[in-house]
Amino acid sequence: MSLVTTHVLDAAAGRPAPGIPVQLETGGQIIAHGLTDVDGRIRDLGPDQLVPGVYRLVFDTGNYLGPEGFFPEIIVSFRITDGAAHHHVPILLSPFAYSTYRGS
């Protein structure tokens, strides 16, 4: 498992959200990218080691939510203090709301 993982759940539909492109960025550079699988997860996003700092996950939700979706993109910024620790950053998504938290 990589040091950064994510999971997108479609709260409105009550199921995982497959096919959402996600980028891991820091300092304006893309470090990794992936696509949520049929379970809404990306298990292999990011390198084996990360330098402590501020990172961003950019979720391209526009195609998944369609033209009625209010959030075509979700950006979650988070701080890594231990570059060897696992960081799980999930999204609970609906057409007009989202939430996130530090998972395990």
Q: Note the pLDDT tens digit of each residue in 41-81.
A: 999 987 888 999 999 999 999 999 999 889 999 999 999 99
**Average pLDDT estimate for 27-40:** 96
Is residue 39 a contact partner of residue 9, using CB atoms and an 8 Å limit?
Answer: no
- The one-letter amino acid code at 37 reads D
Q: How far apart are CA 44 and CA 71, in angstroms?
A: 25
Structure tokens that stand for 2 in this block: 């990589």
Report the mean per-residue pLDDT for the chain.
94
Is residue 61 a contact partner of residue 71, using CB atoms and an 8 Å limit?
Answer: yes
State residue 88's pLDDT score: 95
State residue 36's pLDDT score: 98
Indicate the DSSP class of residue 13: T
Percent of the chain with pLDDT over 90: 83
Cα angle value 94/75/81 (rounded, 5°): 125
Is residue 16 a contact partner of residue 36, using CB atoms and an 8 Å limit?
Answer: yes
pLDDT at 1 over 80: no
> Class of 4-100 per CATH?
mainly beta
**Average pLDDT estimate for 80-94:** 93
Tell me the whole-structure pTM to 2 decimals. Answer: 0.94
